Amino acid sequence: MESVSTRRSGSAVRGTGPGTSAAPEERARILIQVRNKPDRTLVEQWLRETYPIVPPDGEMALNEAFDLAIIDGPNLKRWRSKIRSSRKEAEPVFLPFLLLSARRKGSRPSRHLGRFVDDLILRPLNQDELLARVANLLRRRRLSLELKKEHDRVVKLSVTDDVSGFYNTRYLHRYLDRLLASPKAWEEDVSLVFFDLDNFKEVVDCHGHILGSKVLREVAQAVSRALEEEDRLVRYGGDEYVVILPRQSKEQALAKVDRMKEALCSTAFSAKGRHLSPSQRLVWPGHLPARCPGQEGTPGRSGPLFV
C-alpha cells in the first residue's frame, strides 16, 4: 500500500498494449503494415534513420507497442475491427493511423478519415511528404500524451490529502458511489475500518501544528505498512481515518486491524527531537485493547469499528 503521492498511475505512456509504447524522451515507434514490398521497403528506408520500426507480424503486430501505424488498403479492410478497438483502447490518448493508398478512378480513400485513419498519403510516394505527415501525426500524439499526463496529475491531486499523502474524502465518496452502483455491490464483501487519534489536541497544543501534521502523516504511513495493494487508506478529516478493504469479510478485516495495531505499536512518532510512542495515547483503532503488548497506557475511546 503506497501513498497517493507515490503511487504509479495508469499512464498511457508506458505499457505492452497498443498506444502505450514509450516515454516522451524515447523515440516514437512506427508500425508498417504494407503488403506491397517495394512500397514497404521504401517507407522503412526513409523512416529507419529517425524512428524505430516495429517488425511486421500480421494482425499480432497491432498488439505491440507503437506510436504510429502506416497501413495500406488491404490490411485496413482485413483488420478494420482490430484497428477500431486499438484506437478505442488508447483513448483519450491519440493513436494515429496513416493510410497508404493508390490513385484509382472511383476510389475514395478519404472516406476512412476520422473513422479508421487520421491521414492518408497517395502513391507515388514522396519522401518529404511522408516525413512531414508522420511528424505531424506524432506531434499530435505527443500533445495528447502530455495532456493525458497533466489530466492524471490533476485528478490525482483532487483525491489526495495534502497532510497525509494518502486519499481524501472526495476519493472515499467516489469509491463508495461506484461500489454501490456496481451490479455486484451486494455479492462481494467490502469492509470499512474507522479510527481516530485520542488526545491529538494535546499533541498539537504541546508541539504545534507543524509537528501535529507530521504525526498525522506518520500514523498514515505506519498503518499503510499493514495494508495490501488493493486496500485504500483515507484521511477522513482532522485526526480521523477510514480504511477501505475490498473483497474482505469482517473476520479478515479484524485480522488486518490487528496488523495495523502492531504496525502502530512499533512506530515512534516524531515531536520536536523526541518521540511519542503509542503508549502515550497517540492512536488506537476503535474498541480494540488500547495497550501495546508489554506496555501500559490509558485506553483510547471505545468508538465503533465498522466492518
Tell me if 36 sits within 8 A of 45, measured CB to CB.
no
- Residue 269, classed as helix, strand or coil, is strand
Specify the DSSP class assigned to residue 105. T
If one counts every other C-beta atom within 10 angstroms of the C-beta of residue 10, the result is 8
Name which of 239, 215, 243 is nearest 228 in CA terms.
Answer: 243
- What pLDDT is stored for residue 36 in this prediction? 92
Instruction: Supply the pLDDT for residue 281.
Output: 37
Q: 15 in the Ramachandran plot: left (φ > 0), alpha (ψ -120 to 50) or beta?
A: left
C-alpha cell, 208? 504545534
Task: State how far Cα 27 lies from the chain centre.
Answer: 23
Q: pLDDT by residue for the chain (307 residues), tens digit each?
A: 544 533 333 333 333 344 555 444 478 999 999 999 999 999 999 999 999 998 876 667 788 889 999 999 999 999 999 999 999 999 999 999 999 998 777 678 888 898 899 999 999 999 999 999 999 999 999 999 999 999 999 999 999 999 999 999 999 999 999 888 888 878 888 999 999 888 888 888 888 888 889 989 999 999 999 999 999 999 998 999 999 999 999 999 999 999 999 998 888 776 544 455 444 333 433 333 334 444 443 333 333 333 3
Tens-place pLDDT, residues 150-160: 999 999 999 99
Cα–Cα nearest to 32, from 7, 10, 52: 52
Q: Cα(267)–Cα(201) distance, rounded to whole angstroms?
A: 20
Under a CB-based contact definition with an 8 Å cutoff, are residues 95 and 18 in contact? yes
CB contact set of 46 (below 8 Å; sequence gap of 6+): 127, 130, 131
Domain residue ranges of the chain, discontinuous segments joined by +: 30-157, 169-285
Residue 265 has a pLDDT of 86
Same fold? 30-157, 169-285: no
Top CATH class of 169-285 equals alpha beta
Residue 259 host element (H or E): helix 250-265
- CB-count burial class (<10 Å; 0-12, 13-18, 19+) for 124: exposed
- Residue 59 C-alpha from the chain's centroid: 28
CATH number of 30-157: 3.40.50.2300
pTM over 0.85: no
Give the span between the Cα atoms of 198 and 264, in whole angstroms. 13
Q: 3-state class of 67 per DSSP?
A: coil
Task: DSSP letter for 113, please.
Answer: B
3-class DSSP state of 267 = coil
